[in-house]
């Protein structure tokens, strides 16, 4: 038998053997077919890779080198706010950068930099897998790839750009030394504060030349590369400050692992606090604050990343309305600045700061903010900071949570007319931690309704009501309304949470109250309506803006019931009486924190919601200082300067617009237009009296009532009792945050001593330990 015949016989035998196999087995390819297919695919892949490597060129540097300014516009689309975005960069050689700074960057960003060939296959595979799992476009880039992206390509998160980046990175790694690549990366990277390149970053964060950077300083700048805007510890939220410090520790620990640093030197390192941000040219006055709010929104919403935004060339149309913005500034100057005398009272009338934000509740548009007196002198944006406790402005959230719960833990219905013991320093029962908060001036109110307790801001009542509603439910309600779940002071493990240890920003707080004004429909406040950039070639970039559809936060009857109660706060007998000068239907709540470290008023009409906060801060240590003594007053309550600023601003902002009535669905008969007081006639109306028994119906169907006098109890509480309000007796009683009816806040005697929260360490420092707040 010839060789050919034997081969044919073997093939025939194999075919016969395969025919004898079950159908499912015959459907599987043989090992010869599998091996041949894989070999062919591998050869094709190698060939395609070789072809792409040859045909993909190393391009010229991108247009970033000639980046344009960003132009920020008011809501009208024509009035300019500011121009920013000119690239702040000075290139340096690798020899000018301290070796430990170079090593810190390698440790933080690419620990295989000196060994890899420009790409990290393991990191790329991990990133690709996460992308396929739907976690968004992932990183995995080496320092060489990041340099290629910064210098030659764009920040677009596309597969096409990532593919080009890979081939160019391989070529660049072959054509240039590691030192050249590292220098190029450090000169082209964005570090925050408008600083491109390590030299500009050294000046921006430490006021020194790059060659003078210490180990700790270099490691911090290396840490910034991951999230430059979020990790600036002088302006970051408390949570982001922790992440920045953790990233700094990660860089130093990596240097030890890579053999760049000894354990002893690592342990001797302390975190190097950077200097305060220095204002950019052209951002004086309010411009810098408005730009900051717009930038924060664009980046936090994922519309655009920080590096692409700072590269410039964008035309940004914001939601800010210039007439309202000017009115906010004028209100602060007229109602507060004019009352301060720093020369006569240098220890109390200096460093007084205002945080403010105004939101359209129907849409969530931010129409005005007040971040400080002048960005050129004070570059911290107080409208966005999250380190001031909000005090009693949290009580409406307690009430909303109670109305959602419907019943106390012992089965009693919770409505706006449910009665509680208003005795000062009454121990809270059922809370996770002991708590017995005093009322303002130690006033005992006896058996009063939740409505009356809101009007007088009675601490003992709402501390207990919040526990009855469930502290976890209170926190959930706050988050649903719009308070970020990341803010400090909302821990259900602390009973004091009920009285406002939370530290949302003025913008956060305005957004939460806007949800109440919008009948329980929540909008996350937004500040940019249009974003576009014309490229050198003529193409126009128009990123997709986020959707602004409302979400169901709480039921309408819940939100409207809270609004109904807050209308009574803005009454002759309420702590927000000064807001009556607005002459329109309004609802709101005052807040004064323990030790008088901050004071607030947050209020709304049917068409506009505004938050105003007041505090003092040491300009060097950034520690909070008491407001007591400001403008010569013993105590500054939320019903004083904050309410007056709010009223002045809202009067101007709403001037010329028709007066709208609240459209509430609570079961309560709404007062007619003539029953609302107008300027100069604060006692033109009086609510009906409250029944002496607690209401037992659900909030949606319970007839609403005005604040009632404390009902008689079997055991009268000691101390002064409030006088029942009536049309004949509208004057305020000594109570929580009660303002004087005069045109200017008057002195009040100091609040009862209580445990003050710890002062913060800076604008990004954490809030103090939970403490009684008012």
> What are the catalytic residues?
109, 392
State the residue for tokens 């100091």: 750
CB–CB of 757/597 below 8 Å? yes
Sign (positive/negative) of CA torsion 575, 581, 587, 588? Answer: negative
- CA of 654: how far to CAs of 395, 526, 600, in Å? 27, 20, 21
Read out DSSP for 178-202? HHHHHHHHHHH-B-STTBBSHHHHH
Half-sphere exposure of 259 (CA within 13 A, CB side): 2
State the residue for tokens 């819940």: 558
Q: Hey, what are 367's tokens?
A: 């129409």
CB–CB of 244/192 below 8 Å? no
State the residue for tokens 């043989």: 30
CB–CB of 588/603 below 8 Å? yes
Q: Hey, what are 668's tokens?
A: 């309560």
Angle at 471 between CA 467 and CA 475, to 5 degrees: 140
Q: If we measure between CA atoms, which residue out of 663, 595, 662 comes closest to residue 629?
A: 595
DSSP-assigned letter for residue 148 = H
DSSP-assigned letter for residue 228 = T
Alpha-carbon distance of 655 to 640, in angstroms, equals: 22
State the residue for tokens 């132009």: 71
Read out DSSP for 501-553? -----HHHHHHHHHHHHTTTEE---B-EEEEEEE-TTS-EE-PPPPP---EE-
Read out DSSP for 355-423? EEEEE-TTT-BEEEEE--S-TTT--S-TTT---S--GGGGHHHHHHHHHHH-B-TTS-B--TT-EEE--
Q: Which residues, 6 or more positions from 158, have their beta carbon under 8 angstroms from its beta carbon?
A: 137
Q: If we measure between CA atoms, which residue out of 410, 315, 417 comes closest to residue 692?
A: 417
What region, left, alpha or beta, does residue 406 occupy, with left being phi > 0 and alpha being psi -120 to 50 degrees? left
Pairing of strands 587-592, 528-534: unpaired
Burial class for 246, CB neighbours closer than 10 Å (0-12, 13-18, 19+): exposed
Alpha-carbon distance of 561 to 668, in angstroms, equals: 9
Sign (positive/negative) of CA torsion 749, 755, 757, 759? Answer: positive
Q: Which residues, 6 or more positions from 445, have their beta carbon under 8 angstroms from its beta carbon?
A: 422, 423, 439, 452, 453, 456, 458, 460, 461, 710, 717, 721, 722, 735
- Crossing angle of helices 198-206/215-224, nearest 10°? 110
Q: Hey, what are 584's tokens?
A: 């329109």
Distance from first CA to last CA of the chain, Å, rounded? 107
State the residue for tokens 């009338």: 349
Q: Hey, what are 704's tokens?
A: 């609403």
Q: Hey, what are 56's tokens?
A: 């993909």
Alpha-carbon distance of 25 to 477, in angstroms, equals: 60
Q: If we measure between CA atoms, which residue out of 432, 395, 300, 359 comes closest to residue 609?
A: 359
């Amino acid at each position: 038998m010839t060789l050919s015949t034997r081969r044919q016989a073997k093939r025939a035998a194999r075919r016969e053997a395969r025919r004898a196999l079950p159908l499912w087995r015959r459907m599987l390819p043989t090992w010869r077919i599998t091996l041949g297919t894989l070999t062919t695919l591998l050869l094709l892949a190698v060939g395609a890779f070789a072809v792409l490597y040859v045909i993909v060129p190393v391009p010229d540097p991108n247009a970033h080198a000639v980046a344009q300014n960003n132009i920020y516009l008011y809501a009208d689309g024509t009035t300019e706010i500011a121009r920013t975005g000119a690239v702040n960069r000075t290139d340096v050689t690798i020899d000018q950068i301290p070796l430990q700074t170079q090593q810190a960057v390698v440790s933080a960003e690419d620990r295989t930099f000196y060994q890899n060939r420009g790409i990290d296959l393991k990191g790329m595979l991990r990133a690709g897998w996460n992308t396929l799992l739907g976690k968004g476009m992932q990183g995995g880039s080496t320092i060489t790839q990041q340099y290629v992206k910064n210098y030659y390509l764009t920040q677009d998160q596309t597969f096409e750009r990532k593919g080009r980046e890979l081939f160019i990175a391989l070529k660049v790694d072959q054509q240039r030394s590691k030192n050249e690549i590292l220098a190029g990366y450090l000169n082209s990277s964005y570090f925050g504060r408008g600083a491109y390149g390590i030299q500009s970053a050294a000046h921006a964060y430490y006021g020194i030349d790059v060659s003078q950077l210490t180990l700790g300083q270099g490691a911090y700048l290396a840490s910034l590369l991951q999230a430059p805007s979020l990790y600036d510890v002088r302006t970051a939220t408390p949570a982001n400050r922790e992440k920045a410090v953790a990233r700094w520790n990660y860089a130093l620990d990596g240097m030890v692992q890579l053999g760049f640093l000894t354990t002893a030197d690592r342990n001797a390192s302390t975190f190097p606090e950077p200097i305060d941000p220095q204002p950019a040219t052209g951002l004086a006055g309010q411009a810098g604050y408005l730009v900051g709010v717009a930038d924060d929104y664009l980046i936090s919403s994922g519309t655009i990343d920080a590096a692409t935004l700072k590269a410039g060339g964008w035309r940004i149309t914001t939601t800010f309305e210039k007439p309202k913005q000017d009115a906010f500034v004028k209100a602060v100057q007229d109602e507060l600045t004019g009352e301060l005398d720093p020369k006569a009272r240098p220890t109390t009338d200096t460093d007084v700061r205002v945080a403010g934000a105004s939101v359209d509740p129907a849409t969530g548009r931010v129409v005005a903010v007040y971040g400080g007196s002048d960005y050129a002198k004070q570059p911290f944006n107080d409208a966005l900071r999250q380190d001031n406790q909000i005090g009693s402005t949290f009580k409406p959230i307690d009430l909303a949570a109670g109305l959602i719960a419907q019943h106390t833990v012992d089965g009693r219905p919770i409505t706006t007319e449910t009665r509680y013991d208003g005795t000062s320093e009454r121990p809270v029962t059922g809370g996770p931690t002991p708590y017995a908060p005093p009322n303002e001036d130690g006033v005992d109110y006896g058996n009063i309704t939740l409505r009356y307790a809101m009007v007088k801001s009675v601490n003992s009542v709402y501390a207990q009501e919040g526990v009855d509603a469930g502290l976890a439910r209170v926190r959930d309600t706050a988050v649903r309304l719009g308070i970020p779940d990341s803010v400090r002071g909302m821990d259900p493990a602390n009973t004091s949470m009920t009285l406002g240890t939370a530290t949302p920003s003025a913008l956060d707080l305005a957004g939460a109250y806007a949800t109440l004004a919008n009948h329980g429909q929540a909008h996350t406040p937004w500040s940019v309506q249009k974003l576009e950039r014309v490229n050198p070639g003529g193409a126009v970039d128009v990123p997709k803006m986020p959707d602004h559809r409302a979400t169901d936060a709480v039921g309408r009857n819940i939100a409207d019931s809270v609004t109904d109660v807050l209308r009574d706060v803005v009454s002759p007998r309420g702590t927000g009486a000064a807001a009556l000068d607005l002459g329109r239907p309004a609802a709101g709540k005052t807040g004064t924190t323990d030790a008088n470290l901050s004071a607030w008023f947050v209020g709304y009409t049917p068409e506009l919601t505004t938050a105003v906060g007041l505090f003092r801060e040491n300009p060097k240590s950034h520690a909070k200082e008491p407001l007591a003594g400001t403008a010569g007053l013993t105590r500054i309550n939320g019903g004083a300067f904050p309410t007056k600023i709010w009223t002045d601003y809202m009067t101007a902002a709403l001037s010329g617009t028709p007066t709208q009535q609240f459209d509430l669905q609570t079961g309560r008969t709404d007062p007619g237009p003539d029953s609302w007081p107008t300027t100069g006639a604060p006692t033109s109306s009086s609510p009906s009296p409250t029944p002496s028994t607690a209401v037992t119906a659900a909030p949606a169907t319970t007839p609403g009532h005005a604040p009632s006098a404390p009902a008689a109890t079997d055991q009268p509480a000691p101390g002064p009792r409030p006088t029942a309000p009536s049309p004949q007796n509208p004057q305020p009683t000594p109570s929580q945050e009660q303002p004087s009816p005069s045109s200017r806040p008057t002195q009040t005697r100091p609040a009862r001593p209580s445990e003050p929260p710890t002062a913060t360490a800076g604008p990004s420092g954490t809030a103090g330990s939970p403490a009684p707040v008012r």
